[in-house]
Structure 1
């Protein structure tokens, strides 16, 4: 009897060792849906804004490193260098300026500027609806958002709106370009020919009728 129990124990152990890993995974409780990957901001192209937090590191000179917010004037204060313009520039450009400023004091300085908090990014990415709407608003941009989505989020137009004279304003380099929106046709006729996809930073303006 004892011999039979020993044989059964050995067989059970062998089966446990032979169980493939996928069986354990299948038996494990399902994890919650994985969160989508965080939106990444390119350090090469992202332009630093006011209130963004930047970390400046100098290789082999940790005492010169700082982590500071960008001031309202767009500047940051760096040890030995003083005020450096960060607003409107990329981290690589800021690092190059600091590196040149430190060259007087440090031999062959190697500087890295890293964004640790993108506080200004939220505002740069918003879409704004103004004029003859129920509630002028500033809303976060979402991929796929259209003019109609933004206007409905503002509660729709008022009875005084001249909806077909609406415009979407969009920055293009150093200029702002208007795009006519026939909002009355969108709302009343379902004509979506001017129901443009919006982009971060767009402003939609609905004027009032001239009495």
Structure 2
């Protein structure tokens, strides 16, 4: 008998497939994270306008305002906070904050580990799919077991693993295997055993 050489059954039941929809907002708002570069524009006061990088501790320093928490806020929330802080020094300040270079928090990234050509963390973009992620990491190595890959996702505080079919998507062009990714997803691509 060759039972010792057989492969384990594929995880194809519906509960192990990546959901095509996820409860929550259709378009998640970007949340500032350490390493992001911000353009802070104070209308009518160029001396207070500046470009800053969010420090590893999540704080920024601008003219007149030191050690201000930025990580975890949206650009609009940070702008309102800056307006409140600057109002001690400037009459009715109007502030705009824009993110010019994105790094983001880990919860706003998609991380790829294992047998990707260039494993890395990728900034999540609205509407990102599995194919987008694979293109960003340069594809799979020759040793990747693509159809045994899985997405680890946290939904409502519960961590769940979903099997994805990378070989079917990339090598066979099966577009039904192109699932939607979410911020905070981890794609694990195992090595094949010959």
Shorter-chain TM-score: what band? 0.5 to 0.7
Separation of aligned partners in 2, 1:45 and 1:144: 14
The alignment's C-alpha RMSD in Å is: 4.4
Matches for 1:145-164 after TM superposition, within 5 Å: 145-146=129-130, 150=134, 153-158=139-144
In the alignment, structure 1 segments of 5+ residues that lack a partner are 1-43
Q: Does 1:70 align with 2:59?
A: no
Q: Is 2:119 aligned against 1:137?
A: yes
- TM-score, structure 1 length as denominator? 0.53
The match for 2:30 is 46
SS state at 1:153 partner: coil
Task: Report the alpha carbon displacement of residue 64 of structure 1 after superposing the two structures with TM.
Answer: 2.3
1:205 to 173, 181, 188: 188
Instruction: Specify which of 131, 150, 171 is matched with residue 167 of structure 1.
Output: 150
Displacement of 1:179:
1.5
Could you list the runs of 5+ residues in structure 2 that have no partner in the other structure?
Answer: 1-27
Q: Distance in 2 between matches of 1:48 and 1:157?
A: 36
Q: How many corresponding residue pairs?
A: 159
Structure 1 residues 193, 85: CA separation in 2 closer, same or farther (over 3 Å shift)? same
Which structure is larger by alpha-carbon Rg, 1 or 2?
Answer: 1
TM-score, normalisation: structure 2 = 0.56
- Could you say if the C-alpha distance between residues 115 and 172 of structure 1 is closer, same or farther in structure 2, counting changes exceeding 3 Å? farther
